[in-house]
Structure 1
Amino acid sequence: MEAIQSLSIDDQLGLLWVLYQNMRGLVTPLAPGATVQFLIERGIKTQIITT
């Protein structure tokens, strides 16, 4: 971490950009298909709580 922090801001941004490009679709907010499952579970919990 110290090595990254010792870089200039421009170099840190450049490193972040290269990492982002190399990772392509590996990092997502939620795993593919998890959104639907999350919404279903959330709906069931909400329904149980409100009844």
Structure 2
Amino acid sequence: MRKDVALSFSRLMAEILDYVKDGADLLIENGWLEKVPEAADRQELTH
């Protein structure tokens, strides 16, 4: 692979990672991040 292409690709990947981090921070701040599925509380359902 050409060195200039590898360098451009590395810079692009670093920029993409910055956007991903910003997006994840927004999801966490606003509570939009999905939660892990939880089992229903059977006792609560019967009352």
Query: Same fold per TM (> 0.5)?
Result: no
Is the helix fraction higher in 1 or 2?
1
Which structure has the larger Rg?
2
Give TM-score, length-normalised by structure 1.
0.40
Give TM-score, length-normalised by structure 2.
0.42
